[in-house]
Structure formats: structure tokens, C-alpha cells
């Protein structure tokens, strides 16, 4: 699954490996944010994101 963007004269192409890396980063970030929220609930903190 490759993603394509940009303009016809200046195409941007992401290879499968690039796309996989981006997905991994997004998953890691969401896990990190979930962990922060869980910790916040335990300590009764509120985060403004």
C-alpha cells in the first residue's frame, strides 16, 4: 500500500516501508497518549490536548 500526493509535475511518493514506518510512529504515539490518559485518571489529572 503506497501513498501518493503532491502535484502532477512534482509528485510525492511514499514507498511501502516509509508508509509502514509512519503507521508504526502513529501507533506508538497513540499508545503513549493512551498511557498518559490512564495515568492521569489514576492521579485525577486533566490534560488539555
What SS3 class is residue 16? Answer: helix
Q: What residue has cell string 485518571?
A: 41
Per-residue pLDDT tens for 7-23? 566 566 778 788 889 89
CB 5 within 8 Å of CB 12: yes
Residue 23 in domain: yes
Residue 11 in domain: no
Our count of domains for the chain comes to 1
* Residue ranges making up the domain that contains 45: 16-49
Residue 2 in domain: no
- Can you give the pLDDT at residue 1? 44
Residue 26 in domain: yes
Residue 49 has pLDDT above 60, yes or no: no
Residue 31 has pLDDT above 90, yes or no: yes
Residue 43 in domain: yes
Closest listed residue to residue 30, CA positions, set 42, 38, 41, 19:
38
Residues with Cβ within 8 Å of 47's Cβ and at least 6 positions away in sequence, in order, are: 36, 37, 40
Mean pLDDT of 2-6: 53
Q: Give percent of the chain with pLDDT exceeding 90.
A: 16
Q: Between residues 41 and 4, which one has the greater pLDDT? A: 41
Amino acid at each position: 500500500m503506497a501513498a501518493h500526493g503532491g502535484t502532477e509535475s512534482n509528485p510525492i511518493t511514499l514507498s511501502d516501508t516509509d508508509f509502514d514506518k509512519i503507521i508504526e510512529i502513529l501507533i506508538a504515539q497513540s499508545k503513549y497518549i493512551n498511557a498518559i490518559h490512564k495515568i492521569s485518571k489514576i492521579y485525577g489529572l486533566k490534560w488539555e490536548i
